[in-house]
Amino acid sequence: MHSADKDYQRIVITGVGLTSPIGDSLPEYRAALLAGKSGVSNFETRYIGKVLAGICHFDSLKHQKRKDIRRGTRSGSIAVYCANEAVIDSGIDWLARNKSRVGVYLGITEHGNVETENEIYEISKFGHDTSVWSHHHNPRTVANNPAGEVTLSLNVTGPHLTIGAACAAGNAGFIQGLQMLRLGEVDLALAGGVSESIHTFGIFASFKSQNALATHDDPQKACRPFDVDRNGIVVAEGGAVCTLERLPDALARGAKIYGEIVGYAMNSDATDFVLPDRNRQVECMHLALQRAGLKPCDIDIVSSHATATEQGDIEESLALHEVFKDCPNVAINNTKSFIGHAMGAAGALELLGNIPAFDDGLAHATINLDKLDSRVPLTQIVANQPKQMGAVSCILNNSFGMLGINSVLIVKKYQPT
Amino acid sequence: MTADQIRQVVLGILARIAPDEDLSGLKDEVPFREQMELDSMDFLDIVMELRKMYRVQIPEEDYGNLVTMASTVTYLTPLLKDCSA
């Protein structure tokens, strides 16, 4: 056990695999973010008809057979793609790796709705005869499904689980991986978040009933966080998985290091099913900063959670103002304006899209911000065009979710000593 | 349906549940599992597809009749004799 070694507690990102509506690799995704390219498009969903969504276009056959895809789930395919891409990107010698010391930790907002809706639709064609209900339903809908599909794909025999954390799940997946590494439970974590949410009509219908589903004649202008004309959420699918390792292990194999997770926090509002609470968000950010040994003005980029809803945007902007009001140089941006809300993958995708800023010194923008809502007291939002930052050394990533779950992750540029 | 038509139906089902397999050389007298990657869940897919397509209920004790193409066709012929292809 090396836990007494201070560096043993330092966790770094050494590989990235992702799929998003605007790119299926980090370079492709980053280029689209810097180009201001929206990935929102028209989508047809059962019963509702036309909606807007962020749709991924990754090659699902790159790491799976057609039979695997047929048997599994969309979130499983997303997870398998991202995990395999992360492993390849990490340069780890996978054949030689001890797979019993690898853990898979994936955040999910929900899982099983897609598959259950599909089965109910299928049996409706048979007069709701339950004898035609698929024997695949249970393995498809168990909550660990996406992480389990990763273990099948990569022959991982260490622990795997999904972390149900509403829309804070992406960060939560990273945090779980980090904690397991620090505890010495595993030597490598495949961590992040995934979402197949656009394939359930229920999520669209529920947001619509909540008056929180975005509409716009131009799909690419539909997701408008902080803008006075925003009118709700654009649901997206996606995934992002990282290889996380202890710093000494990463250095020993000469790994490329994307950044070090230096701070994290999670807490609960305990106030409402859906309405956020800025006081707890503030506490969560402060706790993450404290654990990182950083002050607010040490942060260069804040990746905001804002989903383009009335309550969420205002509440988070007030929380951000309270934490960063004395930090005029911090850049606050928002990824959902490009891809929509990727639910369980949102926090992971939003963090990773900002990581290349350590190298290129740019803060990507928040697009579709034509007129800032006057109730948003932030002067630091990067609107519509990327901002040249010079050196970027710290990124703070907010990710919040229903039932009052908050998560904050802070990643620092790795500086060899 | 004739025996030939039933064989085509079963081939179609196998093609759907094992889309990566080349079925062109499938031998009728050799067990499916010796020629293809089929596990118990795949096998249940054959049963389920027949149930959906023709409302045929195959009891578990009869599953042994579905080991090869030849035995499957023999078993299904009386059950599907009134069904159209």
> Could you tell me the CATH number of the domain that includes residue A84?
3.40.47.10
Q: Give contacts of B 13-52 with A, CB under 8 A.
A: 16-20, 37, 41, 44-45, 48, 51-52
Residue A396: inside a domain, yes or no? yes
Do A268 and A199 reside in the same domain of the chain?
no
CA-CA distance, A188 to A180, in Å (whole number)? 9
Do A18 and A53 reside in the same domain of the chain?
yes
Which positions in chain A touch B19 (Cβ < 8 Å)? Answer: 65-67, 70
- Give alpha helix (H) positions in A125-185: 137-141, 145-154, 169-183
Q: Is A67 in the B-facing interface, judged by CB distances under 8 Å?
A: yes
Residue A52's H or E segment, with its range, is strand A49-54
Q: Which of B20, B41, B52 sits opposite A135 (nearest CB)?
A: B41
Do A280 and A323 reside in the same domain of the chain?
yes
Do A248 and A268 reside in the same domain of the chain?
no
Do A245 and A310 reside in the same domain of the chain?
no
Contact: A134, B52; criterion CB under 8 Å: no
Whether A121 has a pLDDT exceeding 70, the answer reads yes
CA-only gyration radius of chain B, Å: 12
What does the pLDDT look like over A347-385, one tens digit per residue? Answer: 999 999 999 999 999 999 999 999 999 999 999 999 999
Do A312 and A372 reside in the same domain of the chain?
yes
Do A370 and A230 reside in the same domain of the chain?
no
**End-to-end Cα spacing for chain A:** 24
Do A232 and A320 reside in the same domain of the chain?
no
Contact A415, A322 (CB under 8 A): no
Angle at A295 between CA A394 and CA A378, to 5 degrees: 80
CA-CA distance, A198 to A193, in Å (whole number)? 15
CA-CA distance, A81 to A61, in Å (whole number)? 9
Which positions in chain B touch A66 (Cβ < 8 Å)? Answer: 19-20
Whether A120 has a pLDDT exceeding 50, the answer reads yes
Hey, what amino acid is at A252? A
Question: Smallest Cα–Cα separation from A216: which of A303, A308, A304, A306?
Answer: A308
Looking at residue A5, its pLDDT comes to 76
Whether A2 has a pLDDT exceeding 60, the answer reads no
Whether A344 has a pLDDT exceeding 60, the answer reads yes
The two structure tokens encoding residue A167: 């829309």
Question: Which of B16, B43, B48 to mutate against chain A (most A CBs within 10 Å)?
Answer: B48
Q: CB count, 10 Å around CB of A405? A: 23
Looking at residue A417, its pLDDT comes to 75
pLDDT average, residue stretch A185-214: 98
Do A194 and A57 reside in the same domain of the chain?
yes
Question: Which of B13, B14, B17, B20 to mutate against chain A (most A CBs within 10 Å)?
Answer: B20
Closest approach of A125 to chain B, Cα-based (Å):
10
Q: What is the mean pLDDT of chain B?
A: 96
Q: Is B53 in the A-facing interface, judged by CB distances under 8 Å?
A: no
Of A252, A275, A306, the position where a domain reaches its end is A252
The two structure tokens encoding residue A130: 């339950």
CA-CA distance, A223 to A350, in Å (whole number)? 15
Which positions in chain A touch B48 (Cβ < 8 Å)? Answer: 132, 134-135
Do A270 and A235 reside in the same domain of the chain?
no
- What residues are paired with A236 via a beta bridge? A54
Contact: A67, B44; criterion CB under 8 Å: no
Residue A259: inside a domain, yes or no? no
CATH 3.30.1330.40 fits B3-79, yes or no: no
Residue A349: inside a domain, yes or no? yes
Looking at residue B44, its pLDDT comes to 96
A30-36 long-range contacts (CB < 8 A, ≥24 apart) are A30/A353, A30/A356, A30/A360, A30/A364, A32/A338, A33/A335, A33/A338, A33/A353, A33/A364, A33/A365, A34/A360, A34/A362, A34/A364, A34/A386, A36/A338, A36/A365, A36/A367, A36/A384, A36/A385, A36/A386
Whether A1 has a pLDDT exceeding 60, the answer reads no
Question: Smallest Cα–Cα separation from A259: which of A408, A91, A393, A414?
Answer: A414
Do A272 and A189 reside in the same domain of the chain?
no
Question: Smallest Cα–Cα separation from A339: which of A25, A107, A36, A86?
Answer: A36
Q: Tell me the backbone φ, ψ of residue A353, rounded to 5 degrees.
A: -65, -20
Q: Is A275 in the B-facing interface, judged by CB distances under 8 Å?
A: no
Looking at residue A282, its pLDDT comes to 98
Contact: B19, A67; criterion CB under 8 Å: yes
Q: What is the mean pLDDT of chain A?
A: 97
pLDDT average, residue stretch A90-114: 98
Which residue range forms the structural domain that includes residue A356?
A: 264-412
What does the pLDDT look like over B22-55, one tens digit per residue? Answer: 999 999 999 999 999 999 999 999 999 999 999 9
What does the pLDDT look like over A40-88, one tens digit per residue? Answer: 999 999 999 999 999 999 999 999 999 999 999 999 999 999 999 999 9
What does the pLDDT look like over A241-280, one tens digit per residue? Answer: 999 999 999 999 999 999 999 999 999 999 999 999 999 9
Q: Which of B20, B37, B52 sits opposite A132 (nearest CB)?
A: B52
Which positions in chain A touch B44 (Cβ < 8 Å)? Answer: 135
Which positions in chain B touch A131 (Cβ < 8 Å)? Answer: 51, 57
Closest approach of B15 to chain A, Cα-based (Å):
10
What is the chain B residue with the closest CA to A124?
Answer: B52
Residue A257: inside a domain, yes or no? no
Which positions in chain A touch B20 (Cβ < 8 Å)? Answer: 65-67
Of A217, A252, A287, the position where a domain reaches its end is A252
Closest approach of A65 to chain B, Cα-based (Å):
7
Q: Which of A66, A70, A126 sits opposite B52 (nearest CB)?
A: A126
Q: Which of B20, B44, B57 sits opposite A67 (nearest CB)?
A: B20
Higher pLDDT, A154 or A415: A154
The two structure tokens encoding residue A311: 């309550």
Q: How many domains does chain A have?
A: 2
pLDDT average, residue stretch A337-342: 98
Share of chain A above pLDDT 90, in %: 98
Do A190 and A299 reside in the same domain of the chain?
no
ipTM: 0.95
Whether A4 has a pLDDT exceeding 70, the answer reads no
Share of chain A above pLDDT 70, in %: 99
At residue A416 the predicted structure's pLDDT band, cuts being 50, 70 and 90, is: confident
Looking at residue A6, its pLDDT comes to 83
Which positions in chain A touch B18 (Cβ < 8 Å)? Answer: 67
The two structure tokens encoding residue A142: 């168990």
Number of A/B CB contacts below 8 angstroms equals 26
Q: Is A134 in the B-facing interface, judged by CB distances under 8 Å?
A: yes
pLDDT average, residue stretch A160-180: 98
